[in-house]
Amino acid sequence: MREARTQGEVWPSPISAAQAAEASLRHSEIAAARGRAIWVEARPSEQGRGVIAAAGATGGPADLLAPPFSARTRVHEYGGGALLGDGAAIFFVNHADQDIWELPPAGEPVRLTVAGDTRFADMARDTLRERLVAVAERHGENGQVENFIAAIGLEGQARGKPQELVRGADFYARPRVSPDGRWLSWLEWSLPDMPWEGAVLKCARLGADGRPEDGIAIAGGAEGAAFQPDWAGDGRLFFVLEQGEWSGLYSWRDGEVTPLFLPQAELMRPLWAFSLRSYAVLDGGNVAAVAVRGGEHELWLVDTRSGEAAQMELPHRCIDDLAAAGGQRIYAIIADDEAVPAICEADLSGGAARWKVLARPGDMDLPAGAISRGLTRRLASGAGPGIPAVHYPPRNPLHSAAGRPAPMVVMAHGGPTGAAARGLQLKTQFWTSRGFAVLDVDYRGSTGYGRSHRMALQGGWGEIDAEDVIAAARAAVAEGLADPDRLVVTGRSAGGFTALCALMRSDIFRAASVHFGVADLATLLETTHKFEAGYLYGLTGTRPGATADVFSARSPLAQSARISSPVLLLQGLEDPAVPPSQARDIAASLKRRGVPVAHLEFPGEGHGFRQAETIRTAFQADLAFFVRVLDLACAEPLPDLTIFNWDDAGEEERGI
């Protein structure tokens, strides 16, 4: 390890890289089954295996799915929708074969489909016909991919045999059958749209043979996408629709669309994964809904018969993925400022919410005073209302940040339609407990601030987002939140692209860490999967056959001569969204030009690191890289990280 200098020190932290990795669980797809909450838990300690877990008011958390099974889909590559809980029945998609399996109350899982070239996701029960409906994705020769809605029988000769119900669009989501079995509803969209840009809600009457008759378009399209259609017990079809700046809750019955709840906030979620939800249909015509306003979450109880809506007290920083739990109860995944995300139950009856934590997977016992609470801010940008961001000051009970402003890690989230996470995140506390400030930026393009903020990135990806990240960093310096000589930037996926573009457009950042980030737009267009095949055109304001100039001007690989700050690249070798060639090519280009660069590859990892060892290594590599570049004193052991054009360069050459 290289001897530290005098530019500052890294505080000893109670959060090790190994602990942060072990606690980096992903919880999703919460549902009600067998009287309990069930959910999918992606565990780094089990190489990212998707474990189906359960908990209820009368029993603690328990695993329902043993190795080697893993609940995870690969439809649209980003997956989601691997779990279906329906009364006593539980079905899941197994990652290894992408087939549907049934999980009985006792004994081993039972395979339902043997489809070979077909993947399944987003299942629902058709109880009248004893079958499932699901999104299917068939992968043929020469890379051809077909998406359709399928029915899979549960009994007799039809058991396990997929039958095509709906096809013709490029993509489908959320097929659902009405309680009386008469109607099938679904979302569909086609290239070049993404679902939040043009998803249409359709519905078709089911004939005597179970096949849909001519479908009718209910809502959605280019003027405002539809999201999350769900049936109520009385035969109404609820759904979210974006109209103008905001999205609200609507219903459809007998050909009539009725607005139910228009909160002047966001109910829609960008449908990157099938399991995303913003509301749950309760008994008696009520709906529990989560609206996002200015990046912050609000919980509402809507009486869909009277039209009255009441905002419920929310003691949590973030709540999402709602599921009905019977009566006026919901299950949800919640996040607090001082505790890792948890599976929670809330009783909303009686005008007040009563909360109960059912399980807090990956909990860590952090000492008092070690947690930095995020503060949402608007940072001056020179125009408009400012750039929203979440600021985390350094925090450690044994150390003080008095005196010189803190070094700062500026984060650019992925998507680019994502948002800065609210609530306790170990990836953030890893830095703040070591004396770094963190600024998580909701640049233009982010979700949670209205359609105009999200759509402002259209045509300007690589410019507008980078400008916002740079402006936010400058504003943080101006407000005394960060040391101007110790600013670094990091991002994952689309955020990695933003980080590289920020280096192209400014020298404010001393270094960048890029996790599976885009470096070359032309290569991305050639290699990306079907789901995103048209996304680049809208983001960059181009059209097929007319991309060369814009792609060249905005691609970090083509513009590597504009990058002079050191770069760390971390890449999974099985990434279908951003192939390893992206990191390899930009690393080689920077190396040839004499720019300090480090490059790590991880076998068995895809788009998003899932294995504990990989996540631990990534934390340690980021820390080692920033410590070296910023010349910080660090007492904890750091890995030997090879930085080309740095380790063999003298101080004068590095500008120290």
What pLDDT shows up at residue 5?
42
Strand ranges across the sheet with 286-293: 279-281, 286-293, 296-303, 309-312
Phi then psi dihedrals of residue 346, to 5 deg: -135, 135
Please state, in angstroms and rounded to a whole number, the distance separating the CA atoms of residues 421 and 20.
16
What pLDDT shows up at residue 481?
95
Kindly give the parts of the chain with pLDDT less than 70.
1-7, 382-383, 647-656
How many CA atoms, within 13 angstroms, populate the side-chain half-sphere of residue 339?
17
What pLDDT shows up at residue 120?
98
Please state, in angstroms and rounded to a whole number, the distance separating the CA atoms of residues 105 and 89.
8
Please state, in angstroms and rounded to a whole number, the distance separating the CA atoms of residues 270 and 276.
8
Residue in the block written with tokens 């058991």: 159
Residue in the block written with tokens 């998003």: 608
Please state, in angstroms and rounded to a whole number, the distance separating the CA atoms of residues 155 and 643.
60
What pLDDT shows up at residue 340?
87
Q: Would you say 319 and 280 are in contact if contact means Cβ atoms under 8 Å apart?
A: no
Please state, in angstroms and rounded to a whole number, the distance separating the CA atoms of residues 95 and 74.
8
Give every CB contact of residue 48 below 8 A, 6+ residues apart in sequence: 42, 70, 610, 611
Q: What angle do CA 644, 650, 655 make, to 5 degrees?
A: 95
Give every CB contact of residue 246 below 8 A, 6+ residues apart in sequence: 262, 263, 264, 265, 266, 450, 451
Q: Is 473 helix (H, G, I), strand (E, B) or coil?
A: helix
Find residue 144's DSSP bridge partners.
Answer: none
Taken as a whole, the chain contains a residue count of 656
DSSP annotation of 382 reads S
Strands 597-602 and 567-572: parallel
Q: Would you say 446 and 453 are in contact if contact means Cβ atoms under 8 Å apart?
A: yes
What pLDDT shows up at residue 383?
62
